[in-house]
Structure 1
Amino acid sequence: MILGAESGKSVGMKYFTGSFVFTFFGLIASYFVGHYYGGTVGAGLQALFIATILAILEISLSFDNAIVNAVVLKEMTPVWRHRFLTWGMLIAVFGMRLVFPLLIVTFMADVNPWEALVIAATKPDDYAKMMLDAHLQVAAFGGSFLLMVALKYFYDGSKDLHWIPFIEKPTRYIGSKVEAIEVCLSLIILILITNFLKQEEALPFLMAGMAGLITYVIVDGIGSWLEASDDQIKDVHKASAGMFLYLEVLDASFSFDGVVGAFAITHNLFIIMIGLSIGAFFVRSLTIMFVEKEALTKFAFLEHGAFYAIGLLAMIMLADPFLHIPEWFTGLSGGIIILTSFIWSLKKGSVEASH
């Protein structure tokens, strides 16, 4: 029995080997970055601590992302799974955690990407101010995209398993009768929020929110188009390519708030990139484990919990102009929802086993 338990642990740990290796080198790099900017051992250790906190925060905020990734990934071909875990990882680490913040400053400050990088390296306080000034638009874009993700799931007319029936049965029924109801609801929510904003904030918020909706519709439309091929083999690969695109945009939306929120903890872009990238590696490891262990089949309501958590995250991001909720609370609340869905899944499995 002991041998079996140890074997199970070693099998479980195999999914996280790469993440721990990246963590080891990432934390060393964060120490040297902190030492370079601060000039002392204490500054290096502080940077190492901040990178650790950011990694934990990223994991807590993105646990539901790992579950949704697994939902999509299990439908993809092995080739596209591998591409998601390699190309996708490079996009997540360098694209979202380095290039994305640089692009925000590029547009907000009307400078080229190289100048934005120089500002980040030499004037981190100025760079952080530019990033935080863009938080309204970032929250609107990411929040509206994630809201569409959640609503699309609950208003799916073909959905037949319900965790909270009094909520999910009516939404399923409405979704089966009203086309594109999630788009309509998202627009109503955006317009309602805009009406309560200051005049100088209203238009940027609405435009960014609309861009999030349009992005979702385009990505979802591309996925549907790629699935419509007549050739079955090509159809599978095309569908997987569409899923890959969807997952990358989804990951970006999850990353938006975390990247901007990280500047409230430190103004150093490079420490932020290291800390959040460590978290991104663990999210990918969790995704692989969920797929290979068939966790979503064994725990029936885990997927539901993830989409409830995504809906909550979307509303928190959209409410940011009125009320800034700390990232730790966002991660904790999402974790509680997913943990509750996990416990309910265990109860469901016990009831079915007894019958």
Structure 2
Amino acid sequence: MKQPISHKSTLGYFRWAFVITAVGLMLGALLGWQSTGTISGMATIFFICTVLAVLEISLSFDNAIVNANKLKEMTPAWQHRFLTWGIIIAVFGMRIVFPLAIVAIAARIGPIDAIILAARQPAEYARIMNEAHLPIAAFGGTFLLMVGLSYFFDPEKDVHWIVSVEKLMSRGATVKGIEIAFVLALILTFASLIEGQESTTFVYSAIYGLLTFLVVEVIGALLDASQKAMAEAARGGLGAFIYLEVLDASFSFDGVIGAFALTQNLFIIAIGLGIGAMYVRSMTIMLVENGTLTHYRYLEHGAFYAILILAIIMYVQTLFHIPEVVTGLGGAALIGVSLWSSIRHNKRKEARAKAQAKAQAEVHSPARERLEA
């Protein structure tokens, strides 16, 4: 679905993100004052909220691009639903409800008890979250691997950035289920490197991640097919919405777990990551309305390579810790290089067009002179 080019300024897209930033940082400062009663304590929590927001933004550049790639196929009504209800689910569901659900399941306590635990015993809450990191990383990493590989293992994909690699994957897509076989082989490889019961946990969690991706794909195809049968305009509706929500959840795993390295307070984490999520939403809207993905042809490629790198990092983190700054900067660097490549491509294309126009003008010039004579 072709999107109209917007004339809104860049700052206009981030208006609500700025508002949420101001409100969130004020809430963080207030929470710091109430919990410590000191200016230094208030400033510390204010700073932590800021760092968490930056962390979330750096980890989610690729998320915004992938969201925009899917949203451009959706109707305006479903785009609006995702950018309103979807962001509520992303901020409150993934940054608050999801960590509470993990603790409630892991500790075998009720959701209310999990909230009380987060408020009164943040250290114990953080310990339970960290212990749950392996299955989360296996599940989220597998889902993201399938997302990234499905983009490159596409027989109809004809635009390639790293040509030799992407052409090979595009040709390999003719082998049915090749990406699933690749992921299963990777799961078994990493499981062999993990000792004891954790190896079994990794395999089960990774298989659940694979099944979730396949189920979401099937449900999305069925829903969108039935909607299309009812009305062509409904294409890219509920199925795409579900896909984007699960995708956002997978992106959020790393940020939520990594946030505990800075603070053990669930509410500070929710404020910081919630601010970051609003910027991701603003970036998504800007990319869709300005047709940025069409103009910068390799930007999507950079985002999906970043997804694959993030997925591998999540797998590696089941063996040893990798700082979140490495994850964030790595993804941002890949997207930056893909943007630079896109700009170079556009300049070469413009130069060729000018050269052709000049050549045509030179060919027609003698003819004009003869006619004038």
- Give the TM-score range, shorter chain: over 0.9
| Distance apart, 1:244 and its partner CA | 0.7
**Whole-angstrom CA distance in 1 between matches of 2:155 and 2:346:** 25
Aligned residue among 8, 19, 22 for 2:20: 22
**Whole-angstrom CA distance in 1 between matches of 2:318 and 2:349:** 46
| Distance apart, 1:300 and its partner CA | 0.3
Aligned residue among 254, 274, 277 for 1:277: 274
Deviations 1:75-94 (A, max 9, x none): 11111111101101110111
Quote the residue 2:226 is aligned against. Answer: 229
Kept in 2, the 8 Å contact 1:71–1:303? The answer is yes
**Whole-angstrom CA distance in 1 between matches of 2:274 and 2:228:** 38
Amino acid at match of 2:171: Y
Question: Which runs of structure 2 are paired with 1:110-129 in the superposition (5 Å)?
Answer: 110-129=108-127
Quote the residue 1:51 is aligned against. Answer: 49
Shift in alpha-carbon separation, 1:230–1:92, aligned structure 2, 3 A? closer
Aligned pair 1:105/2:99, yes or no?
no
Aligned pair 1:96/2:94, yes or no?
yes
| Distance apart, 1:34 and its partner CA | 1.7
Deviations 1:195-223 (A, max 9, x none): 11011210111111111111000111111
**Whole-angstrom CA distance in 1 between matches of 2:10 and 2:351:** 28
Aligned residue among 310, 313, 327 for 2:310: 313
Kept in 1, the 8 Å contact 2:20–2:275? The answer is yes
Shift in alpha-carbon separation, 1:231–1:108, aligned structure 2, 3 A? closer
- Identify unmatched segments of 5+ residues in structure 2: 1-5, 353-373
**Whole-angstrom CA distance in 1 between matches of 2:91 and 2:227:** 36
Amino acid at match of 1:269: L
Quote the residue 1:245 is aligned against. Answer: 242
**Whole-angstrom CA distance in 1 between matches of 2:286 and 2:230:** 27
Shift in alpha-carbon separation, 1:60–1:9, aligned structure 2, 3 A? farther
Shift in alpha-carbon separation, 1:30–1:230, aligned structure 2, 3 A? closer
| Distance apart, 1:227 and its partner CA | 3.0
Amino acid at match of 1:128: A
Aligned residue among 203, 213, 216 for 2:213: 216
Aligned residue among 274, 289, 303 for 2:286: 289
How many residue pairs are counted as aligned between the two chains? 347
27-36 or 235-244, larger mean C-alpha shift:
235-244
3-state SS of the aligned residue for 2:237?
Answer: helix
264-273 or 321-330, larger mean C-alpha shift:
321-330
| Distance apart, 1:251 and its partner CA | 0.4
What's the TM-score, normalizing by structure 1? 0.95
Amino acid at match of 1:305: G
| Distance apart, 1:9 and its partner CA | 10
Amino acid at match of 2:243: Y
Aligned pair 1:256/2:244, yes or no?
no
| Distance apart, 1:69 and its partner CA | 0.4
**Whole-angstrom CA distance in 2 between matches of 1:64 and 1:119:** 33
Q: Which has the larger radius of gyration?
A: 2
**Whole-angstrom CA distance in 2 between matches of 1:142 and 1:237:** 29
Aligned residue among 336, 339, 353 for 1:339: 336
251-260 or 33-42, larger mean C-alpha shift:
33-42
Deviations 1:38-79 (A, max 9, x none): 222211111110000000000000000000000001111111
Kept in 1, the 8 Å contact 2:302–2:334? The answer is yes
**Whole-angstrom CA distance in 1 between matches of 2:227 and 2:319:** 49
Aligned residue among 135, 138, 144 for 2:136: 138
254-263 or 10-19, larger mean C-alpha shift:
10-19
Kept in 2, the 8 Å contact 1:146–1:314? The answer is yes
Quote the residue 2:357 is aligned against. Answer: none
| Distance apart, 1:228 and its partner CA | 2.3
Amino acid at match of 1:165: V
What's the TM-score, normalizing by structure 2? 0.91
- Work out the percentage of aligned pairs sharing the same amino acid: 49
| Distance apart, 1:232 and its partner CA | 4.8
Quote the residue 2:145 is aligned against. Answer: 147
Computed over aligned residues only, the root mean square deviation of the Cα atoms, in angstroms, reads 1.4
**Whole-angstrom CA distance in 2 between matches of 1:31 and 1:147:** 38
